[in-house]
Amino acid sequence: MSQDSQQPPEEVLREAQSLSRQLHEHNYRYYTLDAPAVPDAEYDRLLRRLQQLEKRYPALKTPDSPTQRVGAEPLPSFQQVTHAQPMLSLDNAFDNEELREFDRRIHTRLHADQDIEYVCEPKLDGVAVSLVYEDGVLVQGATRGDGRIGENITANIRTIASVPLRLRGTKPPGIAEVRGEVFLPREGFDELNRDAKNKGEKGFVNPRNAAAGSLRQLDSGITASRPLAMFAYSLGHVAAGIELKSHFQALALLKDWGFKVSEWVELASGIDACMAYYSRLAAKRDTLAYDIDGIVYKVNDLGLQEKLGFVARAPRWAIARKFPAQEEITSLVAVDYQVGRTGAITPVARLDPVFVGGVTVSNATLHNQDEVSRLGLCIGDRVIVRRAGDVIPQVVAVAEEAAPDTRKPILFPRTCPICDSDIVRVEGEAVARCSGGLYCPAQRKEAIKHFASRRAMDIDGLGDKLVEQLVDTGLINNPADLYTLTLDQLAGLERMGRKSAENLLTALEASRETTLTRFLYALGVREVGEVTAAVLAGHFRTLDKLATATMDDFIAAGGIKGMGESTASALLEALNNANPPPADDPVQWLQTLGVRGLSQVLAEKIAAAYPDISQLTSLTVDELRSGAKSRIEGVGPVIAQHIVTFFHQAHNLEVIDQLVNRAGIHWPDMDMKAEATPALPLEGQTWVLTGTLNTLTRDEAKERLQKLGAKVAGSVSSKTSCVVAGDKAGSKLSKAQALEVPVLNEDEFLERLESWVS
Ligand code: 9MJ
């Protein structure tokens, strides 16, 4: 008898069952309750063990095994399934009056004079699904389809971590059908689209399309790679044995069975309470982790639901009150080009005004030339415009192409629309720039606005409009000219009183006394923000030393020879997810991580360069890969090149000379006064990042901490100054708590970052 068909011995069966039980429990705690009980590494260990056992004894591989979430063999096509009970759609109410009418109709039908009790639920913008459980085990997942017949997507549904493969809690009846919405949380959507854009692919228009596209994959391995989730919102066909009086009770049962139910579900007595709920949720809409497009109100009492019945394909006992749309269709009338401080040319869509996301939108950024090509956009096309929350409006897709005879291609200009200098695009960069530098009035204006801004030279009263006026009238051409302005010149400007002119001169006078950090920031060197300016001031101490620095002063050759960027990046990612390394054989251990491109030779070089292998996790890709290595924390080769180039341009040196020697801008001598050293806020501290952050990538968080002077380490010890714990933080968080190391959650961390840079 072959090993494959062997029945597992009793003790193996028991071990597999125990592993399966534990893994189901951990999954439930992680994905449904958002409260993991064990570190990821422990979960992985259990899963690997079960996979081993199932490989050895395939008979163990049941449909509800926790190993089945990874996807099955691709299907040739989807089979059809007939729903035991039709899946209904919902009637819509677009304003409060329509909602009141819905409530009045219900009172009339039921001859009710008391307030009706409703369940209020956020209306998720995803894909409706029906899941059938037989004796508590998931046997079928299907789309809604036309309400009567849907598509069998069982293999795909099984990959969704928050869908129970086996029901828990109250014993379910022989057959139980659960309905709900599969969706893609915003974070997952952003990640998916970032990846798509990096690969030059179109990406998805919105999370709903992305969820639908992910669910309708014949290869469930693709579905498994998408971070889909599901909220359950009702029961469908259920065999006898469950006694429920209300919809709210049904939701409680679904939760008990292990489903995720929206945390915002509430009971409301009467339609006014429903409206109050709508306002509350509308205010929260942009802060939720997923898209919702309205509220669903359902009569709570199941007896009353039955009396009310259905019309056509929608129940009389429920209604969807829709939020104002965040996406609308309008026409692309023209494309203009804006020129930024560093010459970056940004195409801007001029649109037929359209009301979307609560405001009238007539402009939307198109980011850059690649984005225009990616969208396949032409002037005259009907386009989908999205404005969600306070995010600037975006053109997300072409809805309908204009007729060929009116459709005009968008021709990116070759010369600057403001100064006519050539536009250049460095290979590998998305941004095209005007090469005019400070010759270009647009760049000049932006450079002066930046120079005067609050966090730079802080020239009170010198607003954007005034800068434009001063440049347009020829009174100033560069920041140094600001200090030559006279009272008469200023007072002679349109819309400028004598008093305001005097105030501006006082502010200019006050700005002469500054710090080296502010001055460096004010110069507007590309990619030198406030934090980098502080690092540079602290390192070079004088303007002269910085201005005469060469690339060698910033960058040393280093890293691991032969290590490419992608291998370095994959290695760091693998290290972040790995157990702590064993001390005995680091070379072999590195190779077990399965990093592509990490050969034995490379592993040996790494082990030689970093005898304490646990130090590796605190490195950045740039520090690890072969070649350039920063001498100054946070200043890589790109920034260094910008700095060197800036101080090599004669016109920049001339402006600096005028500012310092003619206008008399000065700052404390940093070598004389030790206390004037802008000590970085986190100097001497060691921080650890763990879990998933929602608003920053791990690399971004790391870079920001390093720029503030902190070291970022991969493991927690009693010497750790602070741990930032994102979602699903595991063993590092537990260790920090055990060692009483301070822990910040993401919001607290962002707040601190904000306070340190200001
Ligand atoms: C959504 N989309 O969130 C229903 N829905 O109920 C909720 N959809 C629904 N309920 C009956 N929360 C038909 C559809």
User: In which band, very low, low, confident or very high, does the pLDDT at 345 lie, cut at 50, 70 and 90?
Assistant: very high
Average pLDDT over residues 250-273: 97
- Record: fold of 686-757: Rossmann fold (3.40.50)
- Cβ(88) – ligand 1 distance below 6 Å: yes
* Nearest to 38, CA basis, from 25, 57, 20: 25
Residue 57 confidence (pLDDT): 93
Q: What's the pLDDT tens digit per position in 427-468?
A: 888 899 999 887 899 999 999 999 999 989 999 999 999 999
Residue 676 confidence (pLDDT): 43
Q: Which residues are catalytic?
A: 123
Q: In this prediction, what percent of the chain has a pLDDT beyond 70? A: 97
- Cβ(121) – ligand 1 distance below 6 Å: yes
Residue 5 confidence (pLDDT): 57
Q: Domain 327-409 sits in which CATH superfamily?
A: Nucleic acid-binding proteins (2.40.50.140)
Residue 562 confidence (pLDDT): 83
* Nearest to 555, CA basis, from 667, 465, 641, 645: 641
* Nearest to 168, CA basis, from 59, 36, 260, 37: 260
* Nearest to 679, CA basis, from 539, 542, 545, 538: 538
User: In which band, very low, low, confident or very high, does the pLDDT at 299 lie, cut at 50, 70 and 90?
Assistant: very high
The Cα 369–Cα 411 span in angstroms is 9
pLDDT above 90 (res 390) = no
Average pLDDT over residues 380-406: 89
Residue 561 confidence (pLDDT): 81
The Cα 600–Cα 585 span in angstroms is 12
pLDDT above 60 (res 673) = no
- Strand 359-365 with 345-356, pairing: antiparallel
Give pTM, 2 decimals: 0.61
Q: Which atom of ligand 1 is nearest to the CA of 298?
A: 6
- Cβ(337) – ligand 1 distance below 6 Å: no
Q: How many C-beta atoms surround the C-beta of residue 167 within 10 A?
A: 22
How remote is the CA of residue 123 from the centroid of ligand 1, in Å? Answer: 6
- Cβ(296) – ligand 1 distance below 6 Å: yes
Which helix H or strand E contains 346, and what residues bound it?
A: strand 345-356
- Cβ(254) – ligand 1 distance below 6 Å: no
* Nearest to 574, CA basis, from 607, 597, 605, 600: 597
User: In which band, very low, low, confident or very high, does the pLDDT at 2 lie, cut at 50, 70 and 90?
Assistant: very low
- Cβ(144) – ligand 1 distance below 6 Å: no
Which residue CA neighbors atom 5 of ligand 1 most closely?
123
User: CATH 1.10.287.610: which residues of the chain?
Assistant: 3-68
In this structure, are residues 337 and 417 in contact, taking their beta carbons and an 8 Å threshold?
yes
Q: What's the pLDDT tens digit per position in 699-731?
A: 788 888 888 888 888 888 878 889 999 887 777
pLDDT above 50 (res 625) = yes
- Cβ(446) – ligand 1 distance below 6 Å: no
Q: Which of 102-116, 119-133, 519-533, 576-590 has the lowest mean pLDDT?
A: 576-590
β-partners of residue 181 are 128, 231
Task: Please give the mean pLDDT across all residues of the chain.
Answer: 89
CATH 3.40.50.1820 fits 3-68, yes or no: no
The Cα 421–Cα 704 span in angstroms is 36
The Cα 306–Cα 655 span in angstroms is 80
How remote is the CA of residue 152 from the centroid of ligand 1, in Å? Answer: 20
pLDDT above 70 (res 166) = yes
- Cβ(318) – ligand 1 distance below 6 Å: yes
Residue 152 confidence (pLDDT): 96
Which residue CA neighbors atom 1 of ligand 1 most closely?
123
pLDDT above 80 (res 296) = yes
Q: What are the DSSP calls for 130-178, one per residue? A: EEEEETTEEEEEEE-TTSSEEEB-HHHHHT-TTS-SB--SSPPPSEEEE
How remote is the CA of residue 151 from the centroid of ligand 1, in Å? Answer: 19
The Cα 621–Cα 697 span in angstroms is 14
User: CATH 3.30.470.30: which residues of the chain?
Assistant: 92-322
Distances, alpha carbon 683 to alpha carbons 541, 636, 640, 741, in Å: 17, 19, 22, 17
- Cβ(442) – ligand 1 distance below 6 Å: no
User: In which band, very low, low, confident or very high, does the pLDDT at 671 lie, cut at 50, 70 and 90?
Assistant: low
User: CATH 2.40.50.140: which residues of the chain?
Assistant: 327-409
User: CATH 3.40.50.10190: which residues of the chain?
Assistant: 686-757
Distances, alpha carbon 653 to alpha carbons 247, 274, 480, 648, 650, in Å: 74, 66, 11, 8, 5
pLDDT above 50 (res 675) = no
Average pLDDT over residues 721-749: 85
Sheet strands (E) in 662-736: 686-690, 711-713, 722-725
Select from 89, 91, 123, 265 the residue to mutate for testing ligand 1; criterion: most ligand atoms less than 8 Å from CB: 123
Select from 89, 118, 124, 208 the residue to mutate for testing ligand 1; criterion: most ligand atoms less than 8 Å from CB: 124
- Cβ(233) – ligand 1 distance below 6 Å: yes
Give Cα 233 to chain centroid, integer Å. 27
Q: How many C-beta atoms surround the C-beta of residue 197 within 10 A?
A: 15
Residue 1 confidence (pLDDT): 42
How remote is the CA of residue 233 from the centroid of ligand 1, in Å? Answer: 6
Q: What are the DSSP calls for 558-597, one per residue? A: ES-TT--HHHHHHHHHHHHHSPPPPSS-HHHHHHHT--TT
pLDDT above 60 (res 509) = yes
Select from 208, 231, 296 the residue to mutate for testing ligand 1; criterion: most ligand atoms less than 8 Å from CB: 296
pLDDT above 60 (res 674) = no
How remote is the CA of residue 25 from the centroid of ligand 1, in Å? Answer: 27
pLDDT above 80 (res 30) = no
Q: In this prediction, what percent of the chain has a pLDDT beyond 90? A: 57
Domain 92-322 - what CATH class?
Answer: alpha beta
The Cα 355–Cα 377 span in angstroms is 21
How remote is the CA of residue 53 from the centroid of ligand 1, in Å? Answer: 41
User: In which band, very low, low, confident or very high, does the pLDDT at 757 lie, cut at 50, 70 and 90?
Assistant: low
Q: Which atom of ligand 1 is nearest to the CA of 231?
A: 3
Rg of the chain over Cα atoms, rounded to whole angstroms, equals: 31
